[in-house]
Structure 1
Amino acid sequence: METQTNQSPKPAMTSCRKKVKDDATFFEDVKDHIDDFIHASMDEHKSCFQKTIKKMFGLSKAVAEKQAVEAKGVESQLPLQTTVSE
């Protein structure tokens, strides 16, 4: 017979990276980042990975749309002017 615990799984973090101290040195910040990574649950890693992929595709889509709009607006034709010297 199985016994169920009343503990619910820890919810995934809202952000992938949280800065511990604003005045931390570079090495302290890296150490904190590595510690966060090592001690994160699989759900936190999965959530962060999904957010990162969505952000990457969102940015690439926005860039592609911007380039398409700029390409449509730039199309213009100028008359060809040539000069011939004799």
Structure 2
Amino acid sequence: METQKTQAENPPKPATSSCRKKTKDDANFLEDVKDHIDDFINASMDDHKNCFNKTIKKMFGLSKAVADKQQSEAKGGVESYLPLQTTVSD
């Protein structure tokens, strides 16, 4: 009976998604930081792993995209530049 009462008083929290986004648009900075810390502390190990993996994949995906762009520009792209102009005043 006691477990039913405690479950009714404390409903289970919905599962937080990994890599938390800002939940309230009108929240001030301190409220947002507090919510973020609470989400971090209450997240499961699987959520932390998923977020870490997504972040690493995103980082390598961005670095690969930049490297591919630089490589394609170096192969056949036309490089334009402006001549250096200096002015000297006495």
TM-score, length of structure 2 as denominator length? 0.64
Gaps of 5+ in 2: 1-14, 80-90
Rounded Cα–Cα distance in structure 2 between residues aligned with 1:59 and 1:33: 25
Relative to its length, the structure with more helix (as a share) is: 2
Deviation at 1:47, TM superposition (A): 0.3
Quote the RMSD (CA, aligned, Å): 2.1
Q: Distance in 2 between matches of 1:42 and 1:12?
A: 12
Which ranges of 4 or more aligned residues in structure 1 deviate by more than 2 Å? none
Note closer, same or farther for the CA distance 1:23–1:32 as it changes in structure 2 (3 Å cut): same
Match of 2:78?
Answer: 74
User: Percent identity of the aligned residues?
Assistant: 80
